[in-house]
Amino acid sequence: MPKNLEHQFSMLVREIRKEYVGNGPKEITTKFIGSWAISEMKGNLTNVEKFMITSENGEQMVHETRTRFVKEIYKKPEVLKRFENLMGTKVVRLFSDINIDEDIAMTVFVFDQQIAGK
C-alpha cells in the first residue's frame, strides 16, 4: 500500500481523537502489516491528565480511563465506518493501550482482509 494511505490513516486517527478526546496526538505513525494497521501515537495526554498523574493513584486513573474511553470511541459504528471506508475492508477487532510515563499510545486495528501489499 502506498505510504500515502498510511498517512491518511494516521490523519483519520488524529481527527477522531480530536473529535472525541479534545486533542489529538502530537505525533502519529501508522504501519500496515498483513491485516493489521498499527498506529503509534506520541504526545497524547491533555494538560488536565498531566496534572492528574502527579497525584496519588493519578497515573492508574488516567491509564484506566483513557484506555476504556478510547476503546469505547472505536466501538461506535459511525467511527468504524470511517476506517472501513478508507481501507475498503471491515474492522473485526481493536487493541489499544497507553504508557503514561512515556506518553505513548498504541492502537492495533485488525481488518478482515489483508491490507498490506494490496
Q: Which residue, chain included where needed, has cell 495526554?
A: 45
**Dihedral over alpha carbons 64, 67, 72, 75 (to 10 degrees):** -140
Q: Which helix (H) or strand (E) holds 110?
A: strand 104-111
What angle, rounded to 10 degrees, do the helices at 58-73 and 3-21 form? 120
Task: Provide the whole-model pTM.
Answer: 0.88
Tens digits of pLDDT across the chain (118 residues): 445 999 999 999 999 998 988 788 999 999 999 999 999 999 999 888 999 999 999 999 999 998 898 889 999 999 999 999 999 999 999 999 999 999 999 999 999 999 976 5
Q: How far apart are CA 115 and CA 23, in angstroms?
A: 28
